[in-house]
Amino acid sequence: MTEMPSSRRSAFQVLTGVFSLPAGARLGAGPTIAALVLALIVLASICAPLYVPYDPLAMDAMSRLRPPSDEFLLGTDPYGRDIFSRVMTGGRVSLLIGIGAAIVSVAVGLVIGLLAGFFRAADGIIMRIMDSLMAIPAILLAIALVALNGPSLSSVIIAITIPEVPRVVRLVRSVVLSAREEPYVEAAIALGSSMPKILIQHLMPNTLAPLIVQGTYICASAILIEAILSFLGAGVSTEIPTWGNIMAEGRSYFQIKPGLIFWPGLLLSLCILCINLLGDTARDLLDPRMKKREG
Amino acid sequence: MKFKTRDLSTAQRVLKIRKLKVGLTGRPDAQPVLNEIDLDIRAGETHCLVGESGSGKSVTSLATMGLLPKDALEVQGGLIDLEGFEITNATAAQMRDLRAQRVAMIFQEPMTALNPVLRVGEQIEEVLNMHTDLSKSEAKARTIDIMEQVHLPDVQRVYSAFPHQLSGGQRQRIMIAMALVLDPDLLIADEPTTALDVTTQLQILKLIEEMQERHGTAVLFITHDMGVVAEIADTVSVMQKGEIVESAPIRELLTNPQKDYTRKLLKAVPNLAPRPARAVSEKDAVLNVDRLEMTYGGGGWFRKSEGVRAARDVTFDIAPGRTLGIVGESGSGKSTVARCIMRLIDPTGGEVTVAATEISRLSRRNLQSHRKHLQIVFQDPYRSLNPRWTVARSLCEGPINFGTPKSEAMERAAELMELVDLPKDALDRYPHQFSGGQRQRIAIARAVAMKPDLLVADEAVSALDVSVQAQVLDLLDDVQDRFGIAMLFITHDLRVAAQICDDVLVMQKGQVVEQGPAAAVLANPRHDYTRSLIEAAPGRHWDFANFRALERAPAVEGPIA
Amino acid sequence: MFGYILKRLLATIPVLLIVAVFVFLLLRLTPGDPAAILAGDAATPAQLERIRDRLGLNDPLLVQFVTWFGQMLKGDLGTSLISNTDVVDMVSDRLGPTINIALMTIVISVLLAVPMGVIAAWRHRTWIDFAVMSFSVLGFSVPVFVIGYILIQIFAIELRWVPVQGYASPSDGIGAFFSRAILPSLTLATIYVALIARMTRASMLEVLGEDYIRTARAKGVRENVVLFRHALRNAAVPILTIIGTGFALLISGVVVTESVFNIPGIGRLTVDAILARDYPVIQAMILLTAGIYVLVNLIVDVSYSFFDPRIRY
Amino acid sequence: MKTLRPNLPGSRTLAAALLASGALLAPAAAPAQEDETTITAVMHSGLRVLDPVITTAHITRNHGYMVYDVLTAVNEDFEPQPQMADWEVSDDGLTYTFTLRDGLMFHDGAPVTAADAVASLNRWGNRDSGGQLIFDVTESLEAQDEKTLVWTLTEPFPPLMDVISKQSAVPPFIMPARVAETSPDETITEYVGSGPFIFNEEEYEPGVSVTYEKFDDYVPREEDPSWMAGGKVVNVDRVVWTTMPDNLTAMNALAAGEIDYLEQVQIDLMPILENAPGVTVEMRDPLGYVTIGRPNFLHPPFDNKQIRQAALAALGQEQMLATMQGDPEYYNVCGAIFGCATPLGDESGSEIVTGGPDPERSKELLEEAGYDGTPVVLMAPTDVVSLVNQPVVAAQALREGGFEVEMQSMDWQSVVQRRAQQAPIGEGGWNMFFTNWMVPEISDPLINVMVNGRGDDAWFGWPDDPEIEEMRAAFVAAESAEAQKEVAVEIQEHVMDNVNYIMMGEYLIPQARRDAIQNMIQSPVPVFWNMTKDAE
B381-412 tens-digit pLDDT: 888 999 889 999 999 999 999 989 999 999 99
Rounded Cα distance between C184 and A99, Å, is 31
Domain with residue A163: its CATH number is 1.10.3720.10
D and B in touch (3+ CB pairs within 8 angstroms): no
Does the beta carbon of A58 lie under 8 angstroms from any beta carbon of chain D?
Answer: yes
Instruction: State whether C152 and D457 contact (CB < 8 Å).
Output: no
Domain assignment of residue D146, yes or no? yes
* Residue where one domain finishes, among candidates C42, C73, C104: C73
Rounded Cα distance between C251 and C257, Å, is 10
Strand partners, D438: D289
Rounded Cα distance between A166 and A105, Å, is 9
Using alpha carbons, select from B222, B217, B220, B221 the residue that is nearest to residue B101: B217
H-only helix segments in D370-480: 385-400, 412-418, 466-477
pLDDT at residue D491 in the model = 94
Binned at pLDDT 50, 70 and 90, residue C37 comes out as low
pLDDT at residue C50 in the model = 77
Using alpha carbons, select from C278, C31, C145, D409 the residue that is nearest to residue A235: D409
For an interface test with A, the pick among D248, D409, D413 (most A C-beta atoms closer than 10 Å) comes out as D409
Binned at pLDDT 50, 70 and 90, residue A2 comes out as very low
Which is more confidently placed, A17 or C185?
C185
Domain assignment of residue D33, yes or no? no
* Residue where one domain finishes, among candidates D174, D193, D212: D193
C132 lies in the same domain as C7? no
Nearest-10 Cα torsion for A183, A186, A192, A195: 120
Task: Report the 10 Å Cβ neighbour count for A155.
Answer: 18
Rounded Cα distance between D379 and D374, Å, is 16
- Quick: pLDDT tens for D187-228: 888 999 999 999 999 888 888 889 999 999 999 999 999 989
Chain C stretch 4-43, residues whose beta carbon is closer than 8 A to a beta carbon of chain A: 14-16, 18-19, 22-23, 26-27, 29-32
Structural domain of D325: 289-507
Rounded Cα distance between B64 and B104, Å, is 10
Under DSSP, the state recorded for B18 is E
D345 lies in the same domain as D492? yes
In this complex, which of C15, C195, C286 lies closest to A140 when CB atoms are compared? C286
Instruction: State whether C143 and A227 contact (CB < 8 Å).
Output: yes
Domain assignment of residue A30, yes or no? no
Domain assignment of residue C84, yes or no? no
* Residue where one domain finishes, among candidates D134, D168, D193: D193
* Residue where one domain finishes, among candidates D193, D217, D252: D193
Chain B residues in contact with C313 by the CB 8 A cut-off are 302
Chain C stretch 103-142, residues whose beta carbon is closer than 8 A to a beta carbon of chain D: 103-104, 107
Rounded Cα distance between C244 and D214, Å, is 49
| First-to-last C-alpha distance (Å) of chain B | 17
Instruction: State whether D22 and C165 contact (CB < 8 Å).
Output: no
The 3-class SS string of D292-304 reads EEEECCCCCCCCC
> What domain count does chain C have?
2
Does the beta carbon of D408 lie under 8 angstroms from any beta carbon of chain A?
Answer: yes
Strand partners, B503: B324, B517
Does the beta carbon of C166 lie under 8 angstroms from any beta carbon of chain D?
Answer: yes
Structural domain of A272: 93-287
D460 lies in the same domain as D334? yes
Domain assignment of residue C81, yes or no? no
Does the beta carbon of A147 lie under 8 angstroms from any beta carbon of chain D?
Answer: yes
Structural domain of C40: 2-73
Q: Which residues contact A161 (CB under 8 A, 6 or more apart)?
A: A101, A104, A105, A108, A222
Taking CB atoms and an 8 Å cut-off, how many pairs form between chains A and C? 179
> Is residue C259 a contact partner of residue C268, using CB atoms and an 8 Å limit?
yes
What is the average pLDDT across C120-146?
85
Nearest-10 Cα torsion for C204, C206, C211, C215: 20
Domain with residue D101: its CATH number is 3.90.76.10
Chain B residues in contact with C223 by the CB 8 A cut-off are 92
Under DSSP, the state recorded for A4 is P
- As a whole-number percent, the residues of chain D with pLDDT over 90 amount to 54
> Is residue C264 a contact partner of residue D208, using CB atoms and an 8 Å limit?
yes
Binned at pLDDT 50, 70 and 90, residue D1 comes out as very low
C66 lies in the same domain as C107? no
Rounded Cα distance between A250 and A262, Å, is 9
> Is residue C269 a contact partner of residue C90, using CB atoms and an 8 Å limit?
yes
Query: Cα A176 vs. chain centroid, distance in angstroms?
Result: 22
Instruction: State whether B446 and A187 contact (CB < 8 Å).
Output: yes
> Is residue D511 a contact partner of residue D282, using CB atoms and an 8 Å limit?
yes
Binned at pLDDT 50, 70 and 90, residue B307 comes out as low
> Is residue D43 a contact partner of residue D208, using CB atoms and an 8 Å limit?
no
Domain limits of chain B? 13-267, 287-549
3-state secondary structure at position B243: strand
Chain B stretch 162-181, residues whose beta carbon is closer than 8 A to a beta carbon of chain C: 162, 164, 175, 178
Domain assignment of residue D17, yes or no? no
> Is residue D499 a contact partner of residue D453, using CB atoms and an 8 Å limit?
no
Chain C residues in contact with D185 by the CB 8 A cut-off are 47, 50-51, 54
Query: Cα B401 vs. chain centroid, distance in angstroms?
Result: 35
Instruction: State whether D412 and C172 contact (CB < 8 Å).
Output: no
Domain assignment of residue D90, yes or no? yes
pLDDT at residue C38 in the model = 65
pLDDT at residue A16 in the model = 38
Instruction: State whether D206 and C48 contact (CB < 8 Å).
Output: no
> What domain count does chain D have?
2
Rounded Cα distance between D180 and C69, Å, is 33
Phi, psi of A244 (to 5 degrees): -60, -55
Q: How far is CA C69 from CA C24, C72, C82, C284, C287, in A?
A: 10, 5, 20, 11, 12
Rounded Cα distance between C241 and C202, Å, is 13
What is the amino acid identity at position D82?
Answer: P
C69 lies in the same domain as C186? no
Rounded Cα distance between D265 and D285, Å, is 13
Does the beta carbon of C286 lie under 8 angstroms from any beta carbon of chain A?
Answer: yes
D340 lies in the same domain as D483? yes
pLDDT higher than threshold 90 for residue D398? yes
Q: What is the pTM of this model?
A: 0.81
pLDDT higher than threshold 80 for residue D18? no
Rounded Cα distance between C94 and C84, Å, is 16
Q: Which residues contact A262 (CB under 8 A, 6 or more apart)?
A: none
B partners (3+ CB pairs within 8 A) are: A, C
pLDDT at residue C90 in the model = 86
D502 lies in the same domain as D357? yes
Rounded Cα distance between B93 and D477, Å, is 106
In a 13 Å sphere around the CA of D208, the CA atoms on its Cβ side amount to 26
* Residue where one domain finishes, among candidates C73, C106, C121: C73
What value does the mean pLDDT of chain B take?
88
Using alpha carbons, select from A167, A275, A291, A286 the residue that is nearest to residue A217: A275
3-state secondary structure at position B457: strand
- Quick: pLDDT tens for B170-211: 999 999 999 999 989 999 999 998 888 888 899 999 999 998
Nearest-CA distance C74 → chain B (Å) = 32
Rounded Cα distance between B16 and B402, Å, is 62
What value does the mean pLDDT of chain C take?
85
pLDDT higher than threshold 50 for residue A295? no
Nearest-10 Cα torsion for D267, D269, D275, D277: -90
pLDDT at residue C54 in the model = 75
Q: ipTM of this predicted complex?
A: 0.79
Chain A stretch 63-102, residues whose beta carbon is closer than 8 A to a beta carbon of chain D: 64-65, 78-80
Chain D residues in contact with A237 by the CB 8 A cut-off are 380, 382, 407-409
Domain covering B287-549: architecture: 3-Layer(aba) Sandwich (3.40)
Give per-residue burial for C253-291: e unless 16+ CB within 10 Å, then b.
bbbbbbbbbbbbbbbbbbbbbbbbbbbbbbbbbbbbbbe
Chain A residues in contact with B297 by the CB 8 A cut-off are none
Q: What's the length of chain C?
A: 313
- Quick: pLDDT tens for D144-155: 999 999 999 999
D328 lies in the same domain as D477? yes
What is the amino acid identity at position B430?
Answer: Y
Does the beta carbon of B107 lie under 8 angstroms from any beta carbon of chain A?
Answer: yes
Rounded Cα distance between B102 and B181, Å, is 11
> What domain count does chain A have?
1
What value does the mean pLDDT of chain D take?
87
The DSSP line for D5-69 is PS----TTSHHHHHHHHHHHHPPP--PPPSSS-EEEEE-SS------TTT---HHHHHHHHHH-E
- Quick: pLDDT tens for D468-514: 999 999 998 888 889 999 999 999 999 999 999 999 999 999 999 99
Chain B residues in contact with C307 by the CB 8 A cut-off are 117
Domain assignment of residue A97, yes or no? yes
Rounded Cα distance between C207 and C307, Å, is 14
pLDDT higher than threshold 80 for residue D460? yes
- Quick: pLDDT tens for D32-60: 445 679 999 999 888 888 889 887 788 89
Where are the extended beta strands (E) located within B61-121? 73-82, 85-86, 103-106
Classify domain B13-267 by CATH number: 3.40.50.300
Instruction: State whether C90 and D206 contact (CB < 8 Å).
Output: yes
Domain with residue D417: its CATH number is 3.10.105.10
